[in-house]
Amino acid sequence: MTLQVGQRQGVVAMAYDARSNVLPSVRITWSSTNLAVARVDPDARQPGVATIIGVAPGIALSEAEAGGRKGTVQVQVGGAGGVAPPV
């Protein structure tokens, strides 16, 4: 995923059981490997939904974890764009 500084992008993570059924009540934990580059803000009302925000130019991984399993997306933030969000 490519973002500019200050740009926001919604993301969704889902947990599945062994038969590929969605587990809607599983808690998803979101994180970023570099908060100086990209921040992840989980939606408190919708499990599995979050917003990734470009903070400063660079590369970070945004991760969603549930039950010991992780999914990641690489986030590349470019320099041009809007105003950086408050931290």
What is the model's pTM? 0.83
Kindly give the pairing relationship between strand 69-81 and strand 2-5: parallel
Residue 16 counted as domain residue: yes
Domain that residue 70 falls in: 2-81
Give residue 67's pLDDT. 85
Please tell me the total count of domains within the chain: 1
- Report DSSP state, residue 44: T
Cβ-contact 55, 9 below 8 angstroms: no
Please give the Cα distance from 56 to 34 (Å, whole number): 10
Q: Which residues contact 59 (CB under 8 A, 6 or more apart)?
A: 34, 37, 74, 75, 76, 77
- Supply the CATH number for residue 59's domain: 2.60.40.3440
Give residue 79's pLDDT. 82
Query: For each successive 10 residues of the chain (87 residues), what is the average pLDDT?
Result: 97 93 90 97 91 98 93 92 56
Give residue 80's pLDDT. 66
Residue 86 counted as domain residue: no
